Amino acid sequence: MVEIKFAWSELGGDPALLARVSTVARKGALPARLPVRELARACVGACALAGAELGARRAGLARVPGVRVDDGAVATAFTSERQLLVDGRPPVLFAPLSRFWRTADGWVRTHANYPHHRERLSRALGVPEDPAAVEAALAERSARDVEEAVYAAGGLAVALRTPEEWAAHAQAAAVAARPLVERGRLDGAHARALAPLRGGGTPLLPAAGLRVLDLTRVLAGPVATRTLALLGADVLRLDAPRLPELPDQHADTGFGKRSALLDLTADRRAFEELLAAADVVVTGYRPGSLDRFGLSPEALAGRRPGLVVAQVSAWGPDGPWGGRRGFDSLVQVATGIAAVEGSPERPGALPAQALDHGTGYLLAAAVLRALTERSYDGGSRFVRVALARTAGWLLAGRDAGTEEDGEVHEGPGAWLAETDGPLGRLRYALPPVSFEGGPGDWARPPGPWGADPARWAA
């Protein structure tokens, strides 16, 4: 079943703490054939409970604060990139070449939001970056042929599969062999002791004083680090100067964080200085792609004992697709979700990028739980999640159907806020992570991408 009990168990949490979670159910929140509402509720609830647990540990509370999960807040947050307005302007979500296309034998979905991905798609197909030219070229080729040709060119295209076709794929077997949340110790090193939290009427911030290096892009990793920032962490996102971020994407996921540019090849000393004072490193690049920079979990922990290393990927760390790039929309297509949510005439999609958001909250929860466990017995630790594994969990609940209980969901209005900041007037989704005494909003709006210095706030 897709429920918080399973997620909390995968995180290694004490099952007795589940009694501290209450739910406000709302009909029509994240409507889908698959149990998307239940997945979203479980991921956010587990994250909030992990935050409340760590907060209680650091504040010396006799009881873990109660957690409240409201389907309305969760549904709004899971569509945060769609709710965003920048000076009244709606966001740009997908570029013209990011969509479903008919092929000679079925369907393929491409992802070409970034300029380098558009160029590679165009090169693989031998046509200009023009929708009509791409459509004509794809109509003459098989979906699996397009998938392999575009991947070989460094682009992103995935053929539509049914759940049964995905289950027969070697990558599906590799993903299914791993837990929803991978967790482990890297060594027995002593970790930096976190200062006790004190009351006094201020919000309980479980991650206060933590320093988090954010090496993630699109969308699960930034959601995780945005959540850690909500809970008080000093989150510093680092990007290579040659890989600019999409402005609206940065505005949506940049709340509470700072953003700096750093070339790992040219500014290695600066990175090592940051690492020497970090508590958590979160990475969201293809498995193994950062290893050449000495950024594997083992190498990082070797230089910063007591570190928590968190990793998120599309397809998992092994299997034939383990080294491939991927995005939520593509994982939906490969795993059969798009076939389930569509019709015989056309593939469909989930009502939100639920794999990204759900996996992001799971990753944040895993970091928080690792920090709680580390506070008892030390040790450097790693946690790892994958969009395809979250997709497998969602599909496993397919036969159970979706619940239809609670009040009618009347839209996102109650869970939207506005603020002025360096990027303009922003309308945004409020955070769904909620527990007694905890924060209700981020401490700061996002600033310009890459505009902050590459150093810790304090």
Positions marked catalytic: 356
Q: Which two tokens stand for residue 315?
A: 């397809």
Quick check: helix, strand or coil at residue 135? helix
* CA 133 – CA 114 distance, rounded (Å): 19
**Planar angle of CA 339, 45, 306, nearest 5 degrees:** 105
Q: How many CB atoms lie within 10 A of CB 14?
A: 12
* CA 54 – CA 361 distance, rounded (Å): 15
Alpha helices in 60-161 (DSSP H): 71-78, 80-83, 115-125, 131-139, 143-152
CB-based burial of residue 63 (10 Å sphere; 0-12 exposed, 13-18 middle, 19+ buried)?
A: exposed
Strand ranges across the sheet with 258-261: 182-185, 381-386, 308-313, 280-283, 211-215, 234-239, 258-261
For 59, how many CA atoms within 13 A lie in the half-sphere containing its CB? 24
Contact between 171 and 320 under an 8 Å Cβ cutoff? The reply is yes
